[in-house]
Amino acid sequence: MPGVVFVLTHKNCPDIPYNQAGQGFPEPSPYDRRMFGQKVRHVGDRVAAVVAETSEIAARALDAIKVEYEVLQPVLTIDDAGADDAPIVHNSEVEYVVGAPADLDQSGADPRDGKIIYQFPIHADPRRNIAARVEGGIGDVERGFAEAEVIHELEYESCQVQCTPAEPHVVYTRMDGDRLVIHASTQVPWHLRRIVARILDVSENRIRVIKERIGGGFGSKQDIVLEEVAAYCTWVTGRSILFRFDRREEFIASRTRHPMKIRVKLGARRDGRLTAIQMDVRANTGPYGSHCLTVPMNGCGKSLPLFLCDNVQFYVTSYYSNIPPTGAYQGYGAPQGSFAVQLAAAELSEKLGMDHLEFLELNRVRDGVMLEILRCLGEGREGAPQEVSSCGLGPALEQGARMIDWGRREESDDPDVRVGKGVVIVQQGSGLPGLDSANAAVTMLGDGTFMLLSGGADLGTGLDTVTTKMVAECLCTDMADIALIAGDTDLTPFDSGAYASSGTYFSGGAALNAAAAMKSKILRVAAEMLNEPERDLEVVFPSTVKGKNGSVTYKEIALHTQTGTGCGQLTATGNFVTDKASFPYGAHYCQVAVNTRTGAVKVQKYYALQDCGTPINPELALGQIYGGVLKTIGHSLWEEMILDEQGRCLNTNLLDYRVPRIGDLPDDFRAELVYTDDPFGPFGSKSVAEISCNGAAPVIAAAIHDAVGVWLRQWPFTPERILRELGRIPTVPSSARGRVSPVGVPGGASTS
């Protein structure tokens, strides 16, 4: 067809198995896909790519391609995938190998379509649709349950939801001489470069990745979703390529939150003290294993350590299926795990006849305790116990209880409406200690201002502002005197990427260390210029070194370093690695009004009290809390990807897929920062963004129960589900349910 430059299919794409997860190498995710496979594993999987002179020509060329499909029975649910007679998503004739990719390449192993390489002992069994499986624990769980006087055991379920960033995935690739340049909306520029280099079979110095300004990522841009296709096509054709998903493609080919079924068993004495916790997580990873181990493990890792219990056991199993791909989504499994464990704790406290807040206060984590459970929660690697270095849960629970007037029953003027309150506790991490790494460099320019080179990837979180502010604080200079370049693999040093809540802790820590190194160099040069010992000098605002007998400005220092008698331009680097964990904590309270006639839920009050250490920029921290809470109010009440019996998503736009909007804000919506001084974070800081996503589902469910007396153990809490639990409409027989789940619409209307 005139105007068509290149067509790429499974017949002419690279025979390289890889994984699209933007995780540290070697990834704890299987290498289970090629760029294009002969078998497509979900509606929206890749079949062909066309490079054309215009988008209109490309669209006509795609329409002209004839494809013959052998339609197979889809596997859509966790139960389907785990059935004895389930169709195999990754064919049984495929070879499965355990080992490092580099070793396999050197051995000359055949990377034919479908080969899966496992780099970690994640106990996968693709012939049974198991992408990953792991278990662990501490103490003696059987003895713990034997000691329990009250036991609660039930299953909790989450649905598939989409990340819905305002900006869809987009990439622009071009050649610069013999080097490939990738302009990408990505959270992981260095992982992107590494993965593309592997696919192209070239060294990393032949590739440059530039992270452009990102219009939201929420984890979906932690994966390599479309970049490698455009990069390969540019590499082969030499042509510059723009590739952008539309909204429908975001739903069917991007990344979503893993649906999970989580069985929680809790045992306690009559006084409320926990004696045993057991957690069995089954996750639906979809057609490929991106994050198939780490997301469900994180569901355990960010929920189990909240309670002090000597006997804890967990099981994790991830299943392959034919739903749209799953992957990283803000919270990274913790919202699902928190929903199950926190709601189970609320139900157990009711069985004990105990106030829920009193139960949480009795069993919660505290300053100085050693979290032994983290020894076996290392996300595919060996973990280590961690001491809780700072915990603001006590003040958060106390302040929130006052704000919501805990224990006081609220009444409604509407006879159909009941009002209830809920409380939960939440936690997250600050990066991945022992795994993550960040680097930065600070250079003094000729007029005494500075250039900060940060590897960090700001995806709208304000990381650029936070790192700049840290450097300015350390150097006693104005923020306007610091320019920033970030996320460019040619210009800036390595950073693991924007995920796992690592920004302030790791990227910020590296920037602060670089600034401290620059400060030392400035003092050394100033000592020579002032003829005073360094111990008598101090850096003062604005941009001045002051001694006992005189002072010198940064501008004067910069000019001195650039003369023939100077020491040369001042440049300092900083690295941040640590094996110490800094956990942010939070207490979420809410009040809901439930209409018993329509099933509609209105969040009247929501208070998120968050311990993020010492916030570097309080305004940005509060913004992250409000955003995270509102998004997860959405998946608690409305959001759900609806699939038909063939696995086609039916609501692939933002009209039919209901995301929270400004009108959905709670009437009284407040975020409060609970200050602690963490000994390991830069300036005492911890993370704040992801933790905000962990409270909405369990606290709204607990408040609904307080209002109308029913427990909702599956999100979203649609009007239909509420009315069924209330006995107002009949329960649909399991044989008649099919594949389509109900989706609720605010205001009481709904469709199914």
Task: Give residues with Cβ within 8 angstroms of 619, minimum separation 6.
Answer: none
How many Å apart are CA 49 and CA 55, to the nearest integer?
A: 12
The pLDDT of residue 563: 85
Pairing label, strands 241-244, 150-158: unpaired
**pLDDT for residue 743:** 35
First-to-last C-alpha distance (Å) of the chain: 43
Any idea what DSSP says for residue 125? B
Given this model, what pLDDT does residue 107 score? 34
3-state secondary structure of 197: helix
Per-residue pLDDT at 377: 87
Q: How far apart are CA 106 and CA 94, in angstroms?
A: 20
Query: Are β-strands 750-751 and 743-744 bridged in parallel, bridged antiparallel, or unpaired?
Result: antiparallel
Chain centre distance of CA 718: 25
> Can you tell me the mean pLDDT for 400-425?
97
Determine the distance from the C-alpha atom of residue 120 to the mean position of all C-alpha atoms in its chain, rounded to a whole number: 21
Q: Which amino acid is it at 15?
A: D
Q: Considering the chain, what percentage of its residues have pLDDT values greater than 90?
A: 89
CA-to-CA distance for 633 and 606, rounded, in angstroms? 10
3-state SS, residue 627: helix
pLDDT band at 118 (very low <50, low <70, confident <90, very high): confident
**Cα(82)–Cα(585) distance, rounded to whole angstroms?**
35
Amino acid at 695: G
Lowest mean pLDDT among 327-336, 382-391, 705-714, 730-739: 730-739
CA distances from 185 to 219, 329, 483, 588 (A): 12, 16, 21, 32
Q: What is the pLDDT of residue 116?
A: 81
Q: What is the DSSP letter of 128?
A: G
| Least trusted range by pLDDT, from 48-62, 221-235, 356-370, 730-744 | 730-744
Q: Is the pLDDT of residue 49 over 80?
A: yes
Single out the residue of 661, 491, 680, 692 nearest to residue 586, CA to CA.
692
| Ordered domains of the chain (ranges, CATH) | 389-427+583-752 (3.30.365.10), 438-576 (3.30.365.10)
For residues 700 and 679, give the distance between their C-alpha atoms in angstroms, rounded to a whole number.
34
- DSSP secondary structure letter of residue 322: S
pLDDT of residue 731: 78
pLDDT at 197 over 60: yes
Mean pLDDT for the stretch of residues 736-741: 42
User: DSSP string spanning 480-528?
Assistant: GGEEEEESBTTTS--B--S-TT-IIIIIHHHHHHHHHHHHHHHHHHHHH
387-410 average pLDDT score: 97
Q: Which of 328, 301, 505 is nearest to 384 (CA)?
A: 301
Task: Report the sign of the C-alpha dihedral through residues 218, 219, 225, 226, in that order.
Answer: positive
Its pTM stands at 0.94
Mean pLDDT of 257-283: 98
pLDDT value of position 114: 61
The Cα–Cα gap between 24 and 496 comes to 7
Share of the chain above pLDDT 70, in %: 94
- Which pLDDT band, with edges at 50, 70 and 90, does 740 fall under? very low
**Dihedral sign from CA coordinates of 613, 617, 623, 628:** negative
pLDDT, position 101 = 53
> Do residues 419 and 602 lie in contact, with contact meaning Cβ atoms separated by under 8 Å?
no
Residue 380 has a pLDDT of: 65
CA 365 to chain CA mean position, Å: 23
Kindly report which listed range (10-24, 293-307, 719-733) carries the lowest average pLDDT score.
719-733
Mean of the per-residue pLDDT values of the chain: 93
Closest CA to 159 of 287, 297, 258, 255: 258
CB atoms within 10 A of CB 142: 12
At 321, the amino acid letter reads: S
Q: What is the dihedral of CA 447, 448, 449, 451, to 10 degrees?
A: 100
| Pick from 440, 427, 246: nearest CA to 342 | 427
Q: Where are the beta strands (DSSP E) in 596-643?
A: 601-611
Question: For residue 60, is pLDDT > 70?
Answer: yes
Q: Which two tokens stand for residue 31?
A: 């290498």
Token pair for residue 162?
A: 């989409």
Under a CB-based contact definition with an 8 Å cutoff, are residues 33 and 42 in contact? no
Give the separation between CA 481 and CA 498, rounded to whole angstroms: 25
At 548, the amino acid letter reads: K
Which has the higher per-residue pLDDT, 321 or 94? 321
**Res. 109 pLDDT band, cuts 50 70 90:** very low
* Residue 502 · residue 438 · CB < 8 Å: yes
Report whether 722 contacts 416 (CB < 8 A). Answer: no
- Give CA separation, 96 vs 17, 20, 178, 675, in Å: 11, 18, 36, 50
**pLDDT value of position 666:** 96
